[in-house]
């Protein structure tokens, strides 16, 4: 059997891949050595800018299978019949750290799903928590700056982290989640996923519903204590990546059951708190979980860089029957995610294999740009309308229209009767066992006690007192005890 011939990128055979061309034996190297220059130039460009957030990630392919009829709420084709399967790609990630960080850290986890549906790709971009730290996207860059490495010290600074939270009382609910027992998942397989945002479903009759997605792990929720995580992160920084890879290679395919909460659109205006506030959950007693289907991961990527790092998820990739809600954070992400990918990967990132539609074909008039590979054929038109049988609009909206009224301006979110930044954080605390409360208090105090300014500490303590008197008292006592040591 003859060996395959090594070639340059232009296809020319390579004579010597061990020695660079030089001016005589032992002489300086030659600029004419095209193979050497090509290898070094490509090596310098092997990496692209990492994501500003969610940089460190893992992913796998799989499928979603409908198990329950939801056609009364949405006419999305991939949810149209029990038993229907849709291929997908799921990317997990940590949020704050860089690509070189460890997996086992106290941080929210990204849970981003790309459904390759017959009506186009549907991207559902969520986290492993049902809420978030802020409710308005204008605060997002500031929030991330406070959590990232300080530009002077080069490390995450408790002063920055807690100073931002001190001035953002709406973060109290998510801080309680993050500092609780589920703040460090044992693996990606052993955590839930949430759409977090509120989305809109529309049925075939045009009725609109607001929904929240809940992916419940079928492996059971397992988490790490702070001490366990610190030990694991030191021994194996790639713990979550390794666990996911090896499980699927062994045929132990992780799965999640998708449930949704469904709110009739008419309920939203008079609901007791703003249902589009990302810092709040909808109580299950108001809107019970309804099962939809099962998500299964059964194939690892062949190339982590090509498929995991270049996977591009955009919350504005909707399909007929699914659309956005007035959720402010979602509205901001409709722009920000797609724009981040155009920066990192280029305007043609949707042509990459992991991002391209698989169950249908993209047909539009986008043309050229960096790394363009679709010539559209000889004589193809790149404008619309045209008289040459090019693709045309359907005239059918993907989702129901949202009612708007009032004057333009920088408005705070509309107030509902029970809007409050602290009540749900207190509810979460009161749901915990005594042991869970003790660990939560210790985790918060461990970080807050490192803050250098007393006024920042006091502002944060006031948030915990407002959530629950016992919660505030115990955190305050623990912080003071640590600062006296």
Tokens coding 87 = 């291929």
Residues marked active site are found at 54, 127
Do the beta carbons of residue 299 and residue 61 sit within 8 Å?
yes
């Amino acid at each position: 059997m003859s060996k395959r011939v090594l070639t340059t990128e232009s296809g020319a055979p390579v004579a010597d891949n061990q020695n660079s061309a030089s001016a005589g034996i032992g002489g300086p190297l030659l600029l004419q050595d095209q193979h050497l220059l090509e290898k070094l130039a490509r090596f310098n460009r092997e990496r692209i800018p990492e994501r500003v957030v969610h940089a460190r990630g893992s992913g796998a392919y799989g499928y979603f299978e409908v198990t329950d009829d939801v056609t009364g709420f949405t006419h999305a084709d991939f949810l149209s019949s029990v038993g229907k399967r849709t291929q997908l790609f799921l990317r997990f990630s940590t949020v704050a750290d860089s690509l070189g960080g460890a997996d086992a850290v106290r941080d929210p986890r990204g849970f981003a799903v790309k459904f390759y549906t017959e009506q186009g790709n549907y991207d559902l971009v969520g986290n492993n928590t049902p809420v978030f730290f802020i409710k308005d996207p204008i605060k997002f860059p500031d929030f991330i700056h406070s959590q990232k490495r300080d530009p002077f010290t080069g490390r995450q600074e408790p002063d920055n982290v807690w100073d931002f939270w001190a001035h953002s009382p709406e973060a109290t609910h998510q801080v309680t989640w993050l500092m609780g027992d589920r703040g460090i998942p044992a693996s990606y397989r052993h955590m839930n996923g949430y759409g977090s945002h509120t989305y809109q479903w529309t049925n075939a009759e045009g009725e609109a519903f607001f929904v929240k997605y809940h992916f419940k792990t079928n492996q059971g929720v397992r988490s790490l204590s702070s001490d366990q995580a610190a030990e694991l992160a030191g021994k194996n920084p790639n713990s979550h990546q390794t666990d996911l890879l090896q499980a699927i290679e062994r045929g132990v395919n992780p799965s999640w059951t998708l449930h949704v909460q469904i709110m009739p659109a008419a309920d939203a205006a008079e609901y007791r708190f703003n249902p589009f506030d990302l810092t709040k959950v909808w109580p299950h007693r108001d809107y019970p979980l309804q099962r939809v289907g099962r998500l299964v991961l059964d194939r690892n990527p062949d190339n982590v860089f090509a498929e995991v790092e270049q996977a591009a998820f955009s919350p504005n990739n909707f399909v007929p029957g699914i659309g956005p809600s007035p959720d402010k954070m979602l509205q901001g992400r409709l722009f920000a995610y797609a724009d981040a990918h155009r920066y990192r990967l280029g305007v043609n990132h949707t042509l990459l294999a992991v991002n391209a539609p698989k169950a249908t074909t993209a047909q539009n008039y986008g043309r050229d740009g960096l790394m363009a590979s679709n010539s559209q054929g000889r004589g193809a038109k790149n404008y619309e309308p045209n008289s040459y049988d090019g693709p045309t609009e359907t005239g059918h909206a993907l989702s129901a229209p949202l009612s708007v009224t009032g004057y333009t301006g920088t408005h705070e979110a509309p107030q509902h009767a029970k809007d409050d930044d602290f009540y749900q954080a207190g509810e979460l605390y009161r749901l915990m066992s005594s042991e869970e409360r003790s660990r939560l208090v210790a985790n918060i105090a461990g970080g807050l006690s490192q803050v250098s300014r007393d006024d920042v500490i006091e502002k944060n303590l006031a948030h915990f007192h407002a959530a629950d008197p016992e919660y505030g008292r115990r955190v305050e006592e623990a912080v003071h005890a640590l600062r006296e040591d």
